[in-house]
Amino acid sequence: MIVVIIGGGPAGLTAGIYAGRTRLKTIILEKTLPGGLATSTSEIENYPGFPDSVGGPQLMKLFEQQAKKFGVKIQLAEVKEVDFSGDPKIVKTLRTDYRAKTVIIATGSKPRVTGAKGEEDFLYGRGISFCATCDAAFYTDLDVLVVGSGDAAIEEAIFLSKFANKVYISVIHDEGIMDASKIAQERALQNPKLHFIWNTMVDEFVGDEKGLNKVMLRNLKTGEKIPVEVQGCFLFFNTQYRHLPGHPEIKRPGIYPDE
Catalytic residue among 52, 83, 121, 134: 134
The verdict on whether 135 is a catalytic residue reads yes
CA distance 205 to 169: 15
Half-sphere exposure of residue 254, counting CA atoms within 13 Å on the CB side?
Answer: 1
Tell the burial category of 205 from Cβ atoms under 10 Å away from its Cβ (0-12, 13-18, 19+). buried
Distance CA 45, CA 248 (A): 34
Is 233 annotated as catalytic? Answer: no
Q: Which of 52, 121, 131, 174 is catalytic?
A: 131
- Is residue 97 annotated as a catalytic residue, yes or no? no
CA neighbours closer than 13 Å in the CB half-sphere of residue 26? 26
Strands (E), 96-177: 97-105, 128-129, 143-147, 166-170
Q: Closest Cα to residue 155, out of 176, 135, 137, 131? A: 131
- Catalytic hit among 135, 179, 203, 233: 135
Cite the active site residues: 131, 134-135
